[in-house]
């Protein structure tokens, strides 16, 4: 038998679990069997062969029950005897072969093969000790039939004792326990006891119709003579099926973990009307041939026909599969709040935690640290990915932090890396995913890359994969607006220049308003003239998640990866199918109390002598992963980072208390470090069986590590001890890591994720959270395109919900604010009046149509009802910055491109993700997106509308950090924005700062957009004037004159532009609502965009 590559037990794919003729054992210690009950079909029949035994097995923390007949036990006995004889025969063959070889005739002697090989394809092991150890004396099986010799009253008791004795005989022998015959009898496999995939459910051999030829599928398994009464054809393949709470996996045999196929359970379509047929994962199929026993398993766009050897087995499988997916009310086949595939997490102390990052510097540092600490696997997906991206700066001293270098280092250590790229329409976008795939695929064989979708086969030409995800070891994931690509790295300063380059090398010096890269042959070569053109600063928000929400997001990645593989590369062996790791259902999800007495359970387990041991894979970085409550509940941190860094790098912003506010908010301005996982943390208890009503929770939940809104003196001490103490006037880029209630939401459909129905839970979450808002809604988004009720063109209804909530506040005479921060201009190439800038104008049209133009806009409709009071309720803003392009060079300005996708409600709830506010992102059937709703569980004293208010630790700290950056506030001024809706904050600070900054920028630069330019003719006139005066300017008039001219007492006075610009505070400016309001900006007939569906732009 040839040697094959041995893959660790925890890998989600492998070539085989054999090496040098030996199989990796399933059992590391002896299981225990207990006869629970004995039954017989007819009380008048005392034949022991008709007895059925309910047997409970326990291995480590896993328990499962099997119903076995005495005849099956005897069949096992004979199979073991047969195996022993075959192995002994092979051993004698080897001895004869050696003797023949010694006399020189070995080459002419053929070795006789056994034609009657066991039906599971077992290969005999040639080991004399193994033969002896696996031999089961026949006398051990005799007591099973002896109860017939006694009285009828004692048959059950005698049979129970006899069967218990026989089971103890072979379950007490490690060699016997790990042989194929016993493993088949026990219905166990290499996946049975991997804790990350959940409890042990049903397993066994089945036949599958038309199994796709995925990597590792063995054509030999189609040969199944003797199975299913001999009626199967080559269209049916014999496989080992493994049922887990979240999926049904098909393997070549119990000793493999390489997937032949997998069905990941999705939410089922709702039942059709009252009295309509209910939908199930599995259902029995009536065959014309009564000797064929078939059932179907269907989830999403997948469907498998499966056969077994009896009608009873069909019913057992159908019941088990439907129970796994449907029985827990919070299971994967039920839609949850907002219509999401994922249930709310963090309702108990299950380890759900979140931490925010503002701008690329903070997020990329954290991502780099997590990648460096990866031990098992890394999942990455994005709209655009650049292998040459530096995650730390300055780039000259951080070559090892380049993305391709980080991934190469981890791949060489054995970490499995899966990267899913969006395959763009090359004529429309210049992100060149083909180049990225080629570069990444050449890094190492452990780096696997796919691009999706293929346009022609799928018919998907308009929509994109827009998620931005990095998931490390299923322990930490990063989610939000930041792609790992050029142009995204930035700091709170948002510099416009970098000449000579030290922070942004080559094409990372990025300004898509001016030019997109035309060539990727040399990414370190500048695309823009640094002496003349500013970069476009980038503002974004990202988030790290731990615990069950992380595994929910990883499940989403697995669904997308498997869907892409099936459609794009079904026969490519280098790209395996993946299995999602599982988070067990919390007891209160099944109707139990939320309050769990952990210490009481711990004492009970100690008294009962329950020993919980680790059986996690060797590839996984943790010692244990609990099945019920995740390890993060013990205060553990993600891989590869020092546990003390969070406290050392946090800085508290003291909140002054003029209005009775107390407490402090921790905001870090240093490079973020996420804390390390503690490999020595031991798990005290695991759940034995998900579906048992006797659930036991023995996980010891330690207090979650605090990193944030705590007593200010604690953080003062931490900062003093740190070598990197934070300056008091720095703005926070990294938030506190806090325990939160989290729910993952997404936009997916059949084309993007293979689901049977469209999911628009992001859209539903936005609408629900706005509707329930009490005091304010703060939104930052790259787009703002939505429709009012009755709008037949734009389908998402965020605008309608905002309108209704404002009208309700007006009727109730209550203070309510809506603040929207968005880009001043779309981030696409071309000046507003340029011939090739139809895309820019089209997006502007739909955004102004939403905000202030025509009858469809929210401001128009509110002004009809509220008049001038409208702006007390809702207002729109952008961000802008300035600086010198180089030392002694010209002053330049640029919008700070708002790319964040975040909403904060009442300082208690935050929504962060990849989704824009437009139909593309929100309808579910178009772009694929993912996000998370984070609800605070920890609060501090604050104020709202002048009244005391419990502000959430996560949401409040995020808003304060964002506002302090936008308003240019220092640490000691944070108290000015603690009450977001008061007149002193909203009117006197926020509105006033935006208005003053806008006036100054207009005086110095006359930059675009502005309210004084209402037509394309006026725009052309302004552009011509400044180009003639300055000799050179940017596409949006971003260069300042050397001197500002003004008239004073009839004389022209010249002043230094910096004299005006020094009065700028932060980056906040007013959004120009009157810009180009006399124009119809939709594409015209001589522009190619005219023939494109308007849905592309909205």
Q: Of 200, 468, 652, 741, which residue is the catalytic one? A: 468
Rg (CA), the chain: 33
C-alpha span between 613 and 623 (Å, rounded): 10
C-alpha span between 54 and 156 (Å, rounded): 12
Catalytic residue at 936? Answer: no
C-alpha span between 341 and 337 (Å, rounded): 9
Q: Which of 594, 526, 162 is nearest to 350 (CA)?
A: 594
DSSP 8-state symbol, 895: E
Q: Of 906, 919, 927, 1036, which residue is the catalytic one? A: 906
The tokens describing 723, both together, are: 């070598």
Catalytic residue at 1042? Answer: no
846-871 CB burial, b ≥16 within 10 A, e <16: bbbbbbbbeebbbbbbbeeebeeebe
Where helices occur in 400-476 by DSSP H, the ranges are 403-412, 433-441, 455-458
Catalytic residue at 114? Answer: no
| Residues contacting residue 546 through CB under 8 Å, at least 6 positions apart | 351, 352, 353, 354, 475, 476, 632, 637, 638, 737
- Examine residue 1009 and say whether the peptide bond preceding it is cis (omega within 30 degrees of 0): yes
| Residues contacting residue 600 through CB under 8 Å, at least 6 positions apart | none
Q: Of 899, 953, 966, 1067, which residue is the catalytic one? A: 899
Kindly tell me the burial class for residue 888, based on how many C-beta atoms sit within 10 Å of its own C-beta (0-12, 13-18, 19 or more).
exposed
Kindly tell me the burial class for residue 425, based on how many C-beta atoms sit within 10 Å of its own C-beta (0-12, 13-18, 19 or more).
exposed
C-alpha span between 883 and 279 (Å, rounded): 61
C-alpha span between 629 and 739 (Å, rounded): 14
Assign 3-class secondary structure to 319-344.
HHHHHHHHCCCCCCCCCCHHHCCCCC
614 close to 671: Cβ distance less than 8 angstroms: no
Catalytic residue at 906? Answer: yes
Strand partners, 236: 209
Q: Of 473, 483, 490, 688, which residue is the catalytic one? A: 473
Catalytic residue at 200? Answer: no
Greatest C-alpha distance within the chain: 127
929-936 and 909-913 beta bridge pairing: antiparallel
225-254 CB burial, b ≥16 within 10 A, e <16: eebbeeebeeebbbbbbbbbbbbbbbbbbb
C-alpha span between 642 and 644 (Å, rounded): 6
| Residues contacting residue 858 through CB under 8 Å, at least 6 positions apart | 788, 799, 802, 803, 850, 851, 874
C-alpha span between 894 and 532 (Å, rounded): 13
C-alpha span between 475 and 583 (Å, rounded): 12
In the three-class reduction of DSSP (H, G, I as helix; E, B as strand; rest coil), residue 119 is classed as coil
Catalytic residue at 13? Answer: no
The CA distances from residue 891 to 469, 642, 888, 895, 1034, in Å, are 37, 42, 9, 14, 12
C-alpha span between 993 and 987 (Å, rounded): 9
The CA distances from residue 376 to 379, 385, 704, 890, 1075, in Å, are 10, 22, 24, 50, 53
Q: Of 77, 375, 465, 901, which residue is the catalytic one? A: 901
Q: Of 77, 466, 845, 953, which residue is the catalytic one? A: 466
| Residues contacting residue 141 through CB under 8 Å, at least 6 positions apart | 73, 74, 77, 166
The tokens describing 8, both together, are: 């660790």
C-alpha span between 615 and 613 (Å, rounded): 7
Active site residues: 466, 468, 473, 899, 901, 906
């Amino acid at each position: 038998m040839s040697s094959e590559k041995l893959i660790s037990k925890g890998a989600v794919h492998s070539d085989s679990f054999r090496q040098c003729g030996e199989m990796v054992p399933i059992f590391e210690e002896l299981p225990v069997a207990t006869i629970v009950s004995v039954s017989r079909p007819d009380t008048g029949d005392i034949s022991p062969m008709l007895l059925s035994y309910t047997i409970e097995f326990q291995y480590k923390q896993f328990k499962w029950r099997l119903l076995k007949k005495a005849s099956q036990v005897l069949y096992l006995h004979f199979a073991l005897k047969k195996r022993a004889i075959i192995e002994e025969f092979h051993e004698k063959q080897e001895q004869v072969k050696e003797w023949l070889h010694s006399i020189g005739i070995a080459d002419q002697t053929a070795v006789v093969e056994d034609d009657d090989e066991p039906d599971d394809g077992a290969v005999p092991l040639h080991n004399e000790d193994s033969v002896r150890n696996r031999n089961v004396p026949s006398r051990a099986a005799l007591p099973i039939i002896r109860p017939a010799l006694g009285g009828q009253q004692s048959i059950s008791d005698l049979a129970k004792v006899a069967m218990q004795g026989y089971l103890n005989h072979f379950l007490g022998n490690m060699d016997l326990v790990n042989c194929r015959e016993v493993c088949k009898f026990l219905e166990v496999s290499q996946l049975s006891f991997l804790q990350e995939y959940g409890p042990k459910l049903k397993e066994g051999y089945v036949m599958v119709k038309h199994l796709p030829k995925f990597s590792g599928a063995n054509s030999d398994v189609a040969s199944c003579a003797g199975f299913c009464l001999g009626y199967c054809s080559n269209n049916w393949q014999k496989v080992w099926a493994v049922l887990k709470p979240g999926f049904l996996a098909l393997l070549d045999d119990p000793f493999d973990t390489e997937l032949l196929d997998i069905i990941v359970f999705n939410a089922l379509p709702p039942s059709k009307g009252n009295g309509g047929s209910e939908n199930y994962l599995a259902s029995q199929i009536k065959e014309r041939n009564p000797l064929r026993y078939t059932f179907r398993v269907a989830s999403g766009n997948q469907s498998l026909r499966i056969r077994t050897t009896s009608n009873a087995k069909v019913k057992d499988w159908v019941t088990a599969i439907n129970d796994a997916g449907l029985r827990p009310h919070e299971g994967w086949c039920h839609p949850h709040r907002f219509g999401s595939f994922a249930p709310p997490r963090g309702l108990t102390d299950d380890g759900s935690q979140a931490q925010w990052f503002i701008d690329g510097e903070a997020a990329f540092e954290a991502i780099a640290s997590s990648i460096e600490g990866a031990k098992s696997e890394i999942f990455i997906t994005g709209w655009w990915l650049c292998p040459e991206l530096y995650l730390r700066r300055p780039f000259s001293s951080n070559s090892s932090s380049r993305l391709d270098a980080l991934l190469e280092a981890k791949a060489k250590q054995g970490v499995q890396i899966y990267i899913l790229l969006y395959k763009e329409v090359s004529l429309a976008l210049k992100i060149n995913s083909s180049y990225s795939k080629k570069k990444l695929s050449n890094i190492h064989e452990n780096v696997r890359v796919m691009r999706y979708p293929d346009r022609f086969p799928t018919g998907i030409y308009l929509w994109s994969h827009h998620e931005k995800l990095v998931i490390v070891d299923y322990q930490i994931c990063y989610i939000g607006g930041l792609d790992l690509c050029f142009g995204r790295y930035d700091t709170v300063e948002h510099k416009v220049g970098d000449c000579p380059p030290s922070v942004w090398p080559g094409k990372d010096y990025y300004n898509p308003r001016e030019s997109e890269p035309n060539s990727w042959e040399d990414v370190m070569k500048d695309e823009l003239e640094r002496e003349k053109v500013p970069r476009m600063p980038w503002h974004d928000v990202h988030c790290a998640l731990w615990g069950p929400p992380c595994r929910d997001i990883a499940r989403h990645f697995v669904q997308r990866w498997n869907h892409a593989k099936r459609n794009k590369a079904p026969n490519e062996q280098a790209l395996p199918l993946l299995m999602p790791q599982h988070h067990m259902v919390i007891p209160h999800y099944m109707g139990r109390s939320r309050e769990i007495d952990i210490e009481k359970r711990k004492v009970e387990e100690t008294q009962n002598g329950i020993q919980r041991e680790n059986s996690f894979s060797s590839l996984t970085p943790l010692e244990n992963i609990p099945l019920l409550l995740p390890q993060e509940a013990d205060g553990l941190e993600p891989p590869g980072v020092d546990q003390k860094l969070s406290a050392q790098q946090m800085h508290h912003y003291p909140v002054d208390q003029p209005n009775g506010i107390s407490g402090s908010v921790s905001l870090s301005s240093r490079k973020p470090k996420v804390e390390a996982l503690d490999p020595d943390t031991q798990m005290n208890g695991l759940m034995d069986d998900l579906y048992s009503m006797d659930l036991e929770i023995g996980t010891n939940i330690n207090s979650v590590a605090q990193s944030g809104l705590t007593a200010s003196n604690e953080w003062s001490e931490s900062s003093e001890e740190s070598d990197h103490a934070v300056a008091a006037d720095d703005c926070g880029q990294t938030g506190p890591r806090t325990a939160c209630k989290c729910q993952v939401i997404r936009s997916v459909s059949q084309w993007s994720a293979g689901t049977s129905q469209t999911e628009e839970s992001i859209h539903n979450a936005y609408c629900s959270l706005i509707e329930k808002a009490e005091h304010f809604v703060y939104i930052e988004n790259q787009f703002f395109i939505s429709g009012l009720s009755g709008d037949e063109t734009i389908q998402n209804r965020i605008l309608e919900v905002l309108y209704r909530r404002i009208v309700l506040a007006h009727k109730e005479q209550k203070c309510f604010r809506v603040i929207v921060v968005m880009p001043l201009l779309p981030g696409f190439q071309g000046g507003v009046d340029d011939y090739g800038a139809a895309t820019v104008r089209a997006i502007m049209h739909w955004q102004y149509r939403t905000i202030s133009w025509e009858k469809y806009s929210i401001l128009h409709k509110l002004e009809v009802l509220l008049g001038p009071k409208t702006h007390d309720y809702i207002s729109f803003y952008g961000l802008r910055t300035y600086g010198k392009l180089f030392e002694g060079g010209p002053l330049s300005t640029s919008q700070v491109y708002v790319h964040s996708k975040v909403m904060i409600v009442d300082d208690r709830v935050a929504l962060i993700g990849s989704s824009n506010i437009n139909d593309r992102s929100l309808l579910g059937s178009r772009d694929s997106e993912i996000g998370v709703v984070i609800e605070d569980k920890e609060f501090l004293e604050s104020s709202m509308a002048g009244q005391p208010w419990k502000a959430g630790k996560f949401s409040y700290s995020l808003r304060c950090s964002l506002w302090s950056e936008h308003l240019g506030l220092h640490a000691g001024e944070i108290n000015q924005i603690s009450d977001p809706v008061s007149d002193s904050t909203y009117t006197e600070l926020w509105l006033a700062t935006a208005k003053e900054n806008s006036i100054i920028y207009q005086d110095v630069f006359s930059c675009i957009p502005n309210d004084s330019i209402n037509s394309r003719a006026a725009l052309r006139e302004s552009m011509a004037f400044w180009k003639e005066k300055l000799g050179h300017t940017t596409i949006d008039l971003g260069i300042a004159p050397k001197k500002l001219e003004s008239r004073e007492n009839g004389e022209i006075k010249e002043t230094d532009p910096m004299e005006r610009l020094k009065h700028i505070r932060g980056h906040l400016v007013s959004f120009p609502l009157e810009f180009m309001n006399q124009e119809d900006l939709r594409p015209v007939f001589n522009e190619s965009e005219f023939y494109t569906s308007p849905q592309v732009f909205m």
